[in-house]
Amino acid sequence: MKRDAAIWRYALPMEAGVVLREQRLRYRDGVIVRMRDGEREGWGEIAPLPGFSRESLDEAINAAIRWLTTWCQGGLPANCMLPSAAFGLSCALAEVAETLPLKGNYHSAILCTGDPDELLIRLAQQPYCIGKVKVGLYEPVRDGMMVNYLLEALPTLQLRLDANRSWTLDKARQFARHVDPTLRNRIAFLEEPCHTPEASCQFAKESAIAIAWDESVREAGFQPQAAPGVNALIIKPTLIGSIAEVEHIIAVARQQGLAAVMSSSLESSLGLTQLARLAQWLTPEVVPGLDTLELMTHQLQRPWPGSSQPLKTVDDLECLWHG
């Protein structure tokens, strides 16, 4: 059987106002990989996230070309060490091998941005009424009031909050003081409230607001561990690595009684649909965090069910490499 592979580069414009780690992200840059083995075909996306991934896109592309070159010659290369490349290549390989189930979970927690009244309408239409709110960008008082407002307006709403480590323990306490105590049990978790994991744990103990690890998952030596007030791990495969590595961390989280939340690293619709399939397969009991498609102006290669955004395909892109 003859094998071949190809890589296309993309740059999708982002909607105005997408800010990552204090920097405006104008384009989402990445590559799409196609692997073919005789009649079988698999696709994957490699898109390191600026400010979050340690590797650059060029490093990931070079690693992918080396890996694919060996694969095309009939070998099974060792797992790639760069997480974004390992993730995209393992998705393409799993599609070739038909080991990534097709069914996806396309119901996500809704990113709560924009006009609060329009947001409430959108939230109320969801089968699972779960929203995700970014906090820590403005004053803690304002964040607290926003959380109260949404939870009071929709009695079935559950919220996930994300502070991206922006608070001191004192600021986090100020936030908690402004959240109505009777509403706190509808905060599923607050991702990384404080600058350090120790301060975040202290906050969880004091405030009766559960926390989740996101940034910490990527730190050297991190092991999922049960602790008072810690509810969940955010699983961002583009930042973790191959499907096998993602499966491993989810299994350890489960053993520790922590929920594993499959989450986007702002992949295009191709990567997002694969994350929806991983979510359905590996974390069927948890609503994933994949509501990032509309941060981009276009979909790519594979449409997200029900989305009306225009679709670009590899025919619209420049082929970077063919082997």
User: How many degrees, rounded to 5, is the angle at CA 97 between CA 94 and CA 98?
Assistant: 80
At position 88, the amino acid (one-letter code) is: G
Task: State the binding partner of 12 from ligand 164, Mg ion, none, CB within 5 to 8 A by kind.
Answer: none
Q: What's the distance, Cα to Cα, between the start and end of the chain in Å?
A: 15
Q: How far apart are CA 119 and CA 135, in angstroms?
A: 16
- Binding segment toward Mg ion, per CB under 5 A, in 156-164, 165-173, 176-184, 288-296: 156-164
Between 109 and 286, CB nearer to ligand 164: 109
Q: Which residues contact 153 (CB under 8 A, 6 or more apart)?
A: 120
At position 311, the amino acid (one-letter code) is: L
The answer to whether 162 is annotated as binding is yes
Q: What is the DSSP pairing of strand 27-37 with strand 3-13? A: antiparallel
Q: Which residues contact 21 (CB under 8 A, 6 or more apart)?
A: 50, 51, 52
Collapsing DSSP to helix, strand or coil, 55 comes out as: coil
Closest by CA to 204, choosing from 224, 188, 221, is 188
Collapsing DSSP to helix, strand or coil, 98 comes out as: coil
Between 86 and 190, CB nearer to Mg ion: 190
- Work out whether 191 is an interface residue with Mg ion (CB under 5 A): yes
Between 111 and 243, CB nearer to ligand 164: 111
Q: What kind and span of H or E run contains 150?
A: helix 140-153
Which of residues 37, 95, 162, 291 is near Mg ion by CB under 5 A? 162
Question: Residue with the closest Cβ to Mg ion?
Answer: 214
The answer to whether 191 is annotated as binding is yes
Size of the site for Mg ion (CB under 5 A): 3
Catalog residues that contact ligand 164 under the rule CB under 6 A.
Answer: 20, 109, 132, 162, 164, 214, 263-266, 289, 291-292
Question: Residue with the closest Cβ to ligand 164?
Answer: 289
Shortest Å distance, C-beta 234 to Mg ion:
6
- Binding segment toward Mg ion, per CB under 5 A, in 188-196, 224-232, 248-256, 292-300: 188-196
Shortest Å distance, C-beta 283 to ligand 164:
13
Phi and psi torsions of 69, nearest 5°:
-60, -45
The answer to whether 214 is annotated as binding is yes
Shortest Å distance, C-beta 49 to ligand 164:
6
Catalytic residues: 134, 236
Q: How far apart are CA 92 and CA 133, in angstroms?
A: 32
Shortest Å distance, C-beta 93 to ligand 164:
25
Question: Which residue positions form the known binding site for Mg(2+)?
Answer: 162, 191, 214
Binding site for Mg ion (CB under 5 A): 162, 191, 214
